[in-house]
């Protein structure tokens, strides 16, 4: 498929998947003013492959955790994807408020990112435009996320931002063969309440707690 909207058009998610099992999205080109693909609560066994994203806000899981009782997201594979000039690459975003939601068993693999602001991002204090922010603590539990063979150039100095819940820190995050640059130099990373491991070449240097 080809999905197209102006890069400055608000709330134009290209494809939204929610409360769905076994969806496959392949061989598509998506350019929007919001998420190229947004993944909502109750999604499992989702497969995304050979997708080009840009412009847009990347491929995002969430936003999650607005409701206290909310089904989780699990078993999501995103592989062989290209991001060009996007605000984000692969992202998980949750509201900072109580919730019994969860995100687990994600694989982001074989991604090329060109002039992307935030390549790998977990934002558990999500609040667009900083308006009416809940300013609590996210109850969404995030675990078992693998980022493998991700390369590209960043338009910002910090290419990887993992801002996790202080009540439920992110766990079992894996970085493997990641190389992200800023002005032809290794980019930087920022981690808060994020545990995991790294292997192979990882640039920027991993900030995960073991």
Catalytic positions, please?
A: 57
- The C-alpha atoms of residue 48 and residue 90 are separated, in whole angstroms, by 12
176 touches 148 (CB < 8 A): yes
Sheet strand arrangement including 188-192: 15-17, 37-39, 59-64, 88-94, 118-123, 158-163, 188-192
Spatial neighbors of 184 by CB under 8 A, at least 6 apart, are none
């Amino acid at each position: 498929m080809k999905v197209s909207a102006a890069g400055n058009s608000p709330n134009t998610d290209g494809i939204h998947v929610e409360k769905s099992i076994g969806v496959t999205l392949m061989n598509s080109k998506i350019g929007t003013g919001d998420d190229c693909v947004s993944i909502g609560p109750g999604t499992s066994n989702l497969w995304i492959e050979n997708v080009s994203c840009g412009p847009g806000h990347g491929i995002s899981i969430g936003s999650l955790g607005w409701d206290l009782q909310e089904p989780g997201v699990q078993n999501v594979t995103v592989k062989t994807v290209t991001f060009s000039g996007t605000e984000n690459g692969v992202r998980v975003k949750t509201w900072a408020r109580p919730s019994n939601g969860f995100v687990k068993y994600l694989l982001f693999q074989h991604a090329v990112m060109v002039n992307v602001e935030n390549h790998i991002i977990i934002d558990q204090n999500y609040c667009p435009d900083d308006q009416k922010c809940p300013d609590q603590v996210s109850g969404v539990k995030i675990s078992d996320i693998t980022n493998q063979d991700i390369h590209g150039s960043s338009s910002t100095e910090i290419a990887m931002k993992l801002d996790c819940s202080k009540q439920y820190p992110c766990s079992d995050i894996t970085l493997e063969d990641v190389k992200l640059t800023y002005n032809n130099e290794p980019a930087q990373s920022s981690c808060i309440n994020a545990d995991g491991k790294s292997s192979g070449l990882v640039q920027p240097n991993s900030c995960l707690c073991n």
